[in-house]
Amino acid sequence: MHIAMIGTGYVGLVSGACFAEFGSTVTCVDSNHDKIEQLRRGEVPIYEPGLQELVEHGVRSGRLRFTTDLASAVAQADAVFLAVGTPSRRGDGHADLQYVDAAAGEVAKALTGYTVIVTKSTVPVGTGRRVANLVRATNPLAHFDMASNPEFLREGSAIGDFMRPDRVVIGCESERAREVLRELYRPLYLLETPIVMTSLETAELTKYAANAFLATKITFINEIADLCEQLGADVSDVARGMGLDGRIGKKFLHAGPGYGGSCFPKDTLALARTAHDAGSPVRIVETVVAINAERKARMADRIIAACGGSVQGKTVAVLGVSFKPNTDDMRESPSLNIVPALQHAGAQVRAYDPAAMHEAAPLLPGVTWCTDAYHAAQGAHAVALLTEWNEFRGLDLEQLGGAMAGRVFVDLRNVYRAEAMAAAGFRYRSIGRGPLRGGTA
């Protein structure tokens, strides 16, 4: 099978490399000449565990190629995947489809035989039919079918998610298209992966509904965490007690500073806008969007309160700035709210992140970037743990405290136990854990 993957961003590059690993011949296309040259040299422009090795293996095997020549890639493809960005449109929150439209127009001109055009990007309901109409208008003789194959990749775990998915969702209305896509995903049959065949609209909505539900779980446990702090309960135990119920599940029940990243913020907003326009508002999702924005804005206040109500003239060490561990993605990261607020309140910020500092530096001016957690802590009056990278889970608390000018530790990910922090002499604050267990050392 020959695949053309239009777009070499996170979704396109991961999907292309994984399809090549499955045995397909994949040509990844991008209009950015510098990025294509970088990939041809074997340099992967994003941080994702295992992706560098997977790309290198695909290139060595000859099954993974990179080009700026869309026409040649599409001409020989059995399936063309549209994996371009769909950011929130400025002003109204709808998904911006300009890149999808541009890619579809170019693909239409390059079609030479029967081809399945597949939207891999997260797109509003109705986009598949809209793209099909655009292709027909551009090339009335085009012989193609339209399909939707939304991705469910978690940043930091994307390779495993693609190779061993919970399910594959395919929306199309042609048996011939179904057969092409079944063949592409045939390596997953040995794992008995559920293949969910639906209409275009159903597949498109499934992606939005899944992300909105997960964002809702995160927001729910964050609100319960706030209640725990008022009642003296421990949100970690509450979440465990809830998660052991098979109807609820334990995933995405970890209290913290709010969700971020490339998917949840824009997808919840886009779903809310789509539903409003359809005359069927999703009020739960609208509330989730509002609560999450408010929560991220309030996180700096927690750090300031832990420092006695003021950080004027003080130094705060920030551990982790990416929106989650195992990625360098800074999109909608809580750190983008927290760090500027601390600086505005008069703090000097020293920070360290294992992967995201290059991406973060232009977004967070005035920060002193450090080589590790202990370097960041030098002379700091407080440490704030924002992202739960593994290397932050077992810090030498004596060494950390010895480097600091104060002993305040604000744990926005509930990585540590209050008892251990108290024994090390820290004044400890966490999320959703009452004074007996999590708050004051």
Contact between 232 and 434 under an 8 Å Cβ cutoff? The reply is yes
Within 10 Å of residue 133's Cβ, how many Cβ atoms? 12
Q: Which long-range contacts (CB under 8 A, 24 or more apart) does 244-252 make?
A: 251/217, 252/214, 252/217, 252/218, 252/221
Parallel/antiparallel/unpaired status of strands 144-148 and 64-67: unpaired
Parallel/antiparallel/unpaired status of strands 144-148 and 168-172: antiparallel
In the residue annotation, 18 being an active-site residue is answered as no
Q: What is the DSSP string of 222-233?
A: HHHHHHHHHHT-
Contact between 116 and 78 under an 8 Å Cβ cutoff? The reply is yes
Which pair of structure tokens corresponds to residue 285? 């999702």
Q: Is 88 exposed, middle or buried (0-12, 13-18, 19+ CB in 10 A)?
A: middle
Catalytic: which of 18, 263, 307, 370? Answer: 263
Which pair of structure tokens corresponds to residue 289? 């969007």
DSSP 431: S
Parallel/antiparallel/unpaired status of strands 168-172 and 79-82: unpaired
Find the DSSP H helices in 118-199. Answer: 127-138, 158-163, 175-184
Which sequence positions are flagged as catalytic?
A: 263
